[in-house]
């Protein structure tokens, strides 16, 4: 191995790129295409089963009906190693399994394989590998997903010849990964420290940014099979649909265009007659129709979702095109903004604290922060519920970036502009997710107070910091409070209290409970994914807990520590115990940010419940803090223990990127699987041998 490493260290980048593609091609042929070459050995005969002899055959295909989604073929007597089924039917991903009887199990039909297929799309056929013990006597095909309409079997073939299919994306990914790996060894990048002044390091940083943006663009491409990202201004019937998936931002824009704050929705008069209209049980029992998850107050409906996405995406698109963005396009534009803001925040934080950062950990950690903060999960969910979360993530990162650069800037005009932008960012965080402003305050307090109490700073210079920041904050705060007042009669009421959802959350309040706090730590930080054998290999848990003394909203969720990057937060103990004047600012920011994360988590838990969206309130702050702590304390040193820790940390960062990517295809809505099943199954084929 040492000889190969020495050889790699002598070649140039062009040779490394060619070697990466060559080795990737060998892996593709020798590993992923192994079944193609091995099928010519063993003497297995191709056998097409006769569907016309089965009951229900319509002359062209055999239908499997919703009430009986299973078909069996009996009387077989052949040795089998695969079954290939060609289907037709609904445009959606359907799962199922294959059962067999053979000489080892002649009377019991045993499960032998599983499949996923899109009968109405390009991925309408599937092949399942079998390993019959002797001759196969029975074959059963069973769809496990409920069928809403018939699925037609066009052909069922045993031992079908496997076509030679190179997966281009898989080949490109392997070549890129190998090229990066070879370059790290060739240029000994694992030993280098990050230096933002070097053009080569700037170029690598740009490549990581482009990679993250390309992933976001990939979500945009795969989120819609028709690639239609704009929609016409909705008719009144669409706006007033009682379906819960109607875009609240579409409704709010329509309301503003009509010069009103309340949504233009029909209100069922029976709501006023209820003893408690916010009690879902009473609404259901008395069969009162209503608009799901809108704020109902004084006989009118309002949207309680933050307005920032409306100003950032919906109105600009509407003014430019006369149409409205789909939730996919809105989420992508907000995600691109968030990615740019996160990279700016990383640079600002690095220049503020100047840790002795290892180059590879820095570059990998940047990507891990984006993936580990569940940003792509939020984008791929294709739901307006996640738009304010993405917006808040972007503006929280922008606030961190502007604050850091403002404190570093020595020019008066630059400092004024940056502090003003930091103030605007605070307002936009409030207009996205008001509760997340707590994290901004926790982060900025030590930075800003250090300037205010710095005796070397003149009073005039301090005013140039304070006033530009306070003006947008005060103006924005007045605007937000006025908007709340004219809708709900209170400057501090954003409408969440009056939402028509699962329960009457007016009874949710903040109480001191060690049991609740420990439950929050488990569900928001420690709760594991549910792991599966097949793509996408993980899913969010729907575990229910009723040990809270009363009803607590619980849905899809997983803890932040499922992203291994976030385990770096335990390094905060080293920072909090640090000594010296240089460590003082780090201690304060680390301590206050930890307190803010735990405090916000506890508030979300008590006032909201358990849901991945509430976990996402904390995800960016936890990932950024963990990333900075890793840069501060993990280095590639000459000692064996330091190198082992370095490799483990790097593995955790790569695992975070991998898991964050998988959440694109497994999340609360599973939107890509449902809207573009062909794209979903094409990606799944990357992992199929």
Q: Is the pLDDT of residue 243 over 80?
A: no
Q: Is the pLDDT of residue 137 over 80?
A: yes
**162 band by pLDDT with thresholds 50, 70 and 90:** confident
Instruction: Specify the DSSP class assigned to residue 491.
Output: T
Answer for the pair 209, 345: CB distance below 8 angstroms, yes or no. no
pLDDT at position 8 is 54
Which residues share a beta bridge with 538?
531
Distance CA 202, CA 186 (A): 19
- Whole-model pTM: value is 0.94
Question: What is each CA distance from 490 to 167, 485, 615, in whole angstroms?
Answer: 58, 5, 28
Distance CA 550, CA 546 (A): 8
Please give the structure tokens belonging to residue 441. Answer: 């305050």
> Please, what sign has the CA dihedral across residues 373, 379, 385, 390?
positive
| Residue 76 exposure: Cα atoms within 13 Å on the Cβ side | 26
Strands (E), 89-147: 94-102, 110-117, 125-129, 136-143
Question: What is each CA distance from 26 to 15, 164, 165, 186, in whole angstroms?
Answer: 16, 14, 14, 21
Interval 580-632: pLDDT, tens: 666 788 899 999 999 999 999 999 999 999 999 999 999 999 999 999 999 99
Q: Is the pLDDT of residue 458 over 60?
A: yes
State percent of the chain over pLDDT 70. Answer: 97
Residue with tokens 């730590």: 521
Give the domain ranges of the chain.
2-35+170-222, 47-158, 230-321, 326-687
Question: What is each CA distance from 189 to 9, 19, 291, in whole angstroms?
Answer: 11, 19, 57
Specify the fold of 47-158.
Jelly Rolls (2.60.120)
Regarding beta strands 151-158 and 300-302, do their DSSP bridges make them parallel or antiparallel, or are they unpaired? unpaired
Q: Which of 54-58, 93-97, 157-161, 603-607 has the lowest mean pLDDT?
A: 54-58
> What integer is the mean pLDDT of 320-335?
96
Q: Is the pLDDT of residue 673 over 60?
A: yes
Answer for the pair 376, 664: CB distance below 8 angstroms, yes or no. yes
CA angle 594, 595, 599 (to 5 degrees): 120
pLDDT at position 66 is 93
pLDDT at position 40 is 80
pLDDT at position 581 is 62
**7 band by pLDDT with thresholds 50, 70 and 90:** low
Q: Is the pLDDT of residue 546 over 90?
A: no
> What integer is the mean pLDDT of 544-563?
87
Answer for the pair 403, 443: CB distance below 8 angstroms, yes or no. yes
> What integer is the mean pLDDT of 42-70?
90
pLDDT at position 10 is 67
Strands (E), 108-212: 110-117, 125-129, 136-143, 151-158
Q: Which of 102-106, 256-260, 435-439, 623-627 has the lowest mean pLDDT?
A: 102-106
Instruction: Specify the DSSP class assigned to residue 566.
Output: G
């Amino acid at each position: 191995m040492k000889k190969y490493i020495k050889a790699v260290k002598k070649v140039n980048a062009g040779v490394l790129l060619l070697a990466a593609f060559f080795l990737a091609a060998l892996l593709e042929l020798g590993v992923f295409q192994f079944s193609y070459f091995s099928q010519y050995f063993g003497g297995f005969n191709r056998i097409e089963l006769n569907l016309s002899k089965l009951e229900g055959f319509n002359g062209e295909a055999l239908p499997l009906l919703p009430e009986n989604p299973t078909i069996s073929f009996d009387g077989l007597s052949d040795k089998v190693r695969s079954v290939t089924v060609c289907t037709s039917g609904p445009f959606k991903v359907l799962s199922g399994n294959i059962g067999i009887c053979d000489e080892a199990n002649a009377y019991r039909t045993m499960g032998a394989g599983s499949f996923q297929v899109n009968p109405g799309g390009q991925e309408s056929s599937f092949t399942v590998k079998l390993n019959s013990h002797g001759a196969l006597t029975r074959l059963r095909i069973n769809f496990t997903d409920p069928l809403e309409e018939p699925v037609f079997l066009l052909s069922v073939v045993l031992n079908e010849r496997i076509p030679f299919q190179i997966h281009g994306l898989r080949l490109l990914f392997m070549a890129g990964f190998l090229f990066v790996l070879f370059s790290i060894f060739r240029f000994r990048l694992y030993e280098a420290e990050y230096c933002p002044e070097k053009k080569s390091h700037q170029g690598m940083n740009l490549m990581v940014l482009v990679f993250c943006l390309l992933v976001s663009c990939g979500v945009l491409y795969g989120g819609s099979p028709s690639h239609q990202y704009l929609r016409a201004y909705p008719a009144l019937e669409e706006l007033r649909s009682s379906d819960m998936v109607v875009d609240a931002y579409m409704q709010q824009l329509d309301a503003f265009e009509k010069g009103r704050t309340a949504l233009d929705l029909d209100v069922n008069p029976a709501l006023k007659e209820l003893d408690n209209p916010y009690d879902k049980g009473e609404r259901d029992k008395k069969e009162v129709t209503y608009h799901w998850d809108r704020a109902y107050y004084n006989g009118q409906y309002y949207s309680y979702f933050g307005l920032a996405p409306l100003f950032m995406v919906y109105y600009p698109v509407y003014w430019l095109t006369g149409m409205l963005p789909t939730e996919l396009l809105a989420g992508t534009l907000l995600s691109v903004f968030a990615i740019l803001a996160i990279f700016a925040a990383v640079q600002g934080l690095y220049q503020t604290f100047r840790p002795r950062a290892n180059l590879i950990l820095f570059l990998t950690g940047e990507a891990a922060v984006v993936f580990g903060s569940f940003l792509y999960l939020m984008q791929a969910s294709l739901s307006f519920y996640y738009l304010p979360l993405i917006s808040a993530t972007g503006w929280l990162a922008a606030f961190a970036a502007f604050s850091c650069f403002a404190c570093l800037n020595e020019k008066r005009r630059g400092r004024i502009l940056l502090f003003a932008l930091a103030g605007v960012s605070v307002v936009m965080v409030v207009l996205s997710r008001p509760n997340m402003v707590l994290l901004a305050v926790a982060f900025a307090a030590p930075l800003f107070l250090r300037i205010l109490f710095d005796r070397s700073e003149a009073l005039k210079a301090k005013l140039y910091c304070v006033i530009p920041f306070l003006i947008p904050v005060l103006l924005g705060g007045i605007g937000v409070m006025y908007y709340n007042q004219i809708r709900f009669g209170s400057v501090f009421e954003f409408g969440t209290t009056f939402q028509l959802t699962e329960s009457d959350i007016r009874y949710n309040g903040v109480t001191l409970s060690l049991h609740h706090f420990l439950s929050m730590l488990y569900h928001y930080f420690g709760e594991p994914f549910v792991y599966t054998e097949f793509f996408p290999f993980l899913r969010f848990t729907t575990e229910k807990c009723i040990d809270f003394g009363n009803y607590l909203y619980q849905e899809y969720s997983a803890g932040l520590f499922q992203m291994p990057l976030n385990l770096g937060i335990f390094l905060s103990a080293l920072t909090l115990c640090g000594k010296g004047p240089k460590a003082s600012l780090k201690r304060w920011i680390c301590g206050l940010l930890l307190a803010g994360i735990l405090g916000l988590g506890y508030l979300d838990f008590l006032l909201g419940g358990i849901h991945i969206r509430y976990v996402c309130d904390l995800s960016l702050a936890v990932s950024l803090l963990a990333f900075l702590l890793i840069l501060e304390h993990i280095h590639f040193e000459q000692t064996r223990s330091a190198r082992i820790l370095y490799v483990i940390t790097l593995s955790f960062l790569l695992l975070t990127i991998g898991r964050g990517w998988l959440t694109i295809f497994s999340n609360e809505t599973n939107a890509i699987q449902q809207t573009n099943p062909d794209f979903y199954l094409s990606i799944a084929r990357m992992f199929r041998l």
